[in-house]
Amino acid sequence: MDLATAQLRADAARAEAAAEAADDYARLTPRQRSVRRVARMLLAAQPNMPVDKLDHEAVPLTTVMERLDVAQSTASEIRKEAMALLLSGYGHQDAAVDAAYEPEGRG
C-alpha cells in the first residue's frame, strides 16, 4: 500500500512538472500559471466528473492558499478564475497536452 501511494505521488509530481513546463513554453504570466494550476487541481480532485458539474469546493481555499502561498482573498479569486477557465473549455485533454512538455530530470 505504501509503495502504491508513493508511486501515485511520484506520478502526480511528474504530471505537475510537465504542466509547469508547458506553462513556461506558453509564456504565461504568474497569475495565469496559478489559475491553470488550480484548474488542474480541480480536475484531479474530481477526475470522472464532467467539467460543467465540477464543485469548486472540492479543492478547499486552504489548499489553494498553501499551494500558491497566497492570502485567502487571492486564493478565492484564483479558484473562481480556474472554474471560469474550465467552463470556457480547458479540461482533461488540455491537462494531458500540458504533460507532453515534461522536462528531463524533474519530478
Q: Residue 71 and residue 54: Cα distance in Å, rounded?
A: 23
pLDDT of residue 3: 77
Q: What pTM, to 2 d.p., does this model score?
A: 0.68
* pLDDT less than 50: residues of the chain: 101-107
Mean pLDDT of the chain: 80
Look-up of cell digits 505521488: 9
Question: What pLDDT is stored for residue 105 in this prediction?
Answer: 38
Q: For residue 27, report the phi and psi dihedrals to the nearest 5 degrees.
A: 55, 50
